[in-house]
Structure 1
Amino acid sequence: MSSTDLLHLHLVSDATGETNHQIARACLVQFEDVRAKEHVWSLVRTGSYLDKVIAGVEANPGPVLFTLVDPDLRRRLEEACRRIEVPCLPVLDPIVMTLANYMGRESHPRPGRQHEMDAAYFNRIEAMDFTLAHDDGQQVHDLEEADIVILGVSRTSKTPTSLYLANRGYKTANVPIVPDVPPPDEIFHLKRPLVVAFTTDPARLIQVRRNRVLMLKQREETDYVAMEQVRKEVAEARRMFVKNGWPVIDVTRRSIEETSAAVLQHLEARETGNV
């Protein structure tokens, strides 16, 4: 297959298909210059719908990643893929089998089980409500109820990281560090939450801020995007972080997912005493 060819990738699921989508994306980024078209087949729970899926694979042959628990649907899809001569992979089977063997227990498959509204689901909703109410320093009187408090100067990805962590079930507040404005006294007395600080390269920060200024159609000639002032702002914030013993994460060119993973590493280290 040349770099100019189009890869047809069929994602077949008896639920929302989100698991297939995430796995496919994580794998595709490992290949450079690959043109891929994802054919998403979700809520595949009947034979008639599976017929449409098979017809789609025949029309655009390509690898099939599937999460189906119905044994008859699985068998029919695998037989069709063998006939069409395309790979067919049950993406969750190796993990489920490994866990079952280790625990000595049988799994009990049910479509969409991971999306049921269980306690974890409602915890995520509660975390999201808390995070939205505590975005950008909106509320500081009850920060002790947070799991994580993020500090950082403007445009260091505090809000998107907070929302990502909230979706993982962590109550996350973020507080901006503003030049010449004392931070809320409450952050210096927190006991329960993990307080973590974000920093970044000043040059990169100015690029991000300039894009923000242009989007808002504001004037650029301000200290907000002046190199000397931004360097001073970042340096002073970092001195405060170090002085208070807060872990500092450099978010320069990190994705939100990578930054969130770093935050959770600090949280786990604190909870296990491996700080």
Structure 2
Amino acid sequence: MTSIHLHLLSDSTGETLEMLAKAALAQFENADVVRHFWPMVRSRQHLDRIVPEFKANPGLVLFTLVNPETRARLEESCAQLGLPAVPILDRVTAALEKALGQEAHGRPGRQHAMDQAYFERVEAIQFTIAHDDGIGSEDWEEADILLAGVSRSSKTPTSIYLANRGYKVANIPLVVESPPPPALYRLKHPLVVGLTTAPERLVQIRRNRLLSLNEGHQTAYIDNERVKDEVAFARRMFADNGWAVIDVTRRSIEETAAAVIRLLGDRGRHKGGDFEGVKPI
């Protein structure tokens, strides 16, 4: 197994850098990566305190630094240590400068500025948390998206991920013995999406959940036939109401969320609007 040290330096929160590094690392199997995260590096003095860590743990350095002096200092230090230093946004920024015909602003953390989009995202997160697991049905019409599905079909984590993209999301568990509130069938604004999964996979997830809670296994919650009935019940409800359906069996949360966003974009275009289903990050 290959082992490396990966140093991530950013002059802001480092969120963008972390996401890009994670996406790239996903392409490699059996790689033992030790990450060293260095956010808010905005001065030579701060950088000089970090450089000894490079020497102690030599590896690959990825950075997003816009201050020329700090950047030059980093590149000089890495060259002296014989370490590769990769400015991961340079090629993208250069291409955008050429396409837009203007020079990029060298302002640290510019992509995280507290503009209107930022406050909309905070509002979306607050709404989503307050409308988890079927709560607050009287406000569902305000949601952008409503996710429906049986227990442990990844409704909550998908909702939170979408909320971080700026979407107001509500979700509701579908239970055979407990019909959903009538408000669910009257919704006009939200896109209702049904999440489904293979019964066998669902049993496994639920069993692991019970193990984590130190609860017994003699329950209908993980009975194979009962779970099949639950999934079939949910699928019939999706079909009867014409709701879009996403099978999450082999999807990550990110993949499920991306599929929901595409559905939302398709819906906007179908209605003749210019909404493309992507909100700013």
Please indicate the TM-score interval, normalised by the length of the shorter structure: over 0.9
Deviations 1:84-129 (A, max 9, x none): 2222111111111111211112211211222222211111111111
Is the counterpart of residue 134 in structure 1 residue 131 in structure 2? yes
Q: Which residue does the alignment assign to 1:222?
A: 219
The verdict on how the C-alpha distance between 1:189 and 1:105 changes in structure 2, with shifts beyond 3 A counting, is: same
1:53-92 mapped onto 2 (5 Å cutoff)? 53-92=50-89
Q: Which residue does the alignment assign to 1:264?
A: 261
Q: C-alpha distance in 2, partners of 1:211/1:40?
A: 32
Residue 55 of structure 1 aligns with an amino acid whose one-letter code is P
The TM-score, its normalising length taken from structure 1, stands at 0.93
The TM-score, its normalising length taken from structure 2, stands at 0.91
Q: Which residue does the alignment assign to 1:235?
A: 232
1:1-275 mapped onto 2 (5 Å cutoff)? 3-4=1-2, 6-273=3-270
Residue 89 of structure 1 aligns with an amino acid whose one-letter code is V
The verdict on how the C-alpha distance between 1:177 and 1:100 changes in structure 2, with shifts beyond 3 A counting, is: same
Give the deviation of 1:274 after TM superposition. Answer: 8.9
- Partner SS for 2:42: coil
Q: Count matched residues.
A: 272
Q: C-alpha distance in 1, partners of 2:235/2:213?
A: 28
Consecutive unaligned residues of structure 1, counting only runs of 5 or more, are none
- Partner SS for 1:137: coil
Q: C-alpha distance in 2, partners of 1:216/1:80?
A: 49
Consecutive unaligned residues of structure 2, counting only runs of 5 or more, are 273-281
Q: Percent identity?
A: 55
Deviations 1:71-90 (A, max 9, x none): 11111222222232222111
CA RMSD of aligned residues (A): 1.7
Give the deviation of 1:145 after TM superposition. Answer: 0.6
Moved more, 109-118 or 164-173: 109-118
Deviations 1:128-169 (A, max 9, x none): 111111111111112111000000011101111111111111
